[in-house]
Amino acid sequence: MVLDRLENAVRYLGLHPSFPAAFAFLQQSDLASLPLGRRELDGHRLYANVECVEGRGREGAKLEAHRRYIDIQLSLEAPDLIGWRGLASCETVEQAYDGARECEVFGDEPEAWIALPSGTFAVFFPEDAHAPLAAEGPLRKVVVKVRM
């Protein structure tokens, strides 16, 4: 997992061949004005979801993990709160891996809570179970999905 400010994204470009395009998209000046929904950046290899959703609170946020995609999450307005736990220590499967949704859900408690203020991004690799949307109130964010 990586947590950093968007202006430091250059440090992470070498971690994956699609990261330069992913961070170029995230550094657009008009990102906050994009309409909600999916944006194709490079077909199934790289796409972004612009979301505006109600936070679930810590009690409502569930740990999830992905096998084929890395998540880069960027909070645009109100800060999000995201739970984290290493996937290897997750023991309680609530929803088995669904290949169509590319998600597995766990009932375990996060080991850490990460504040994601506006302008801050978090990168979650397949070994990172994460519980997004744990903040309260409306959240506008972008989640870039990077194919492994």
The pLDDT, as a whole number, for residue 126 is 97
With contact defined as beta carbons under 8 Å apart, do 84 and 106 qualify? no
Residue keyed to tokens 């801050």: 120
Domain that holds residue 136: 2-147
What domain count does the chain have?
Answer: 1
Q: Can you give the pTM of this predicted structure?
A: 0.94
pLDDT digits 0-9 by tens, 11-27: 999 999 999 999 999 99
pLDDT tens profile 37-68 = 999 999 999 999 999 999 999 999 999 999 99
CATH number reported for the structural domain that contains residue 91 in this entry: 2.60.120.370
pLDDT at residue 99, as a whole number? 92
Confidence of residue 32 (pLDDT cuts 50, 70, 90): confident
- As a whole number of angstroms, the distance between CA 13 and CA 131 comes to 25
What mean pLDDT, rounded, does the chain reach? 95
3-state helix, strand, coil split of the chain in percent (to 5) is: 20, 50, 35
What does residue 34 show for φ and ψ, rounded to 5 degrees? -65, 145
pLDDT digits (tens, 9 = 90+) for 81-104: 999 999 999 999 999 999 999 999
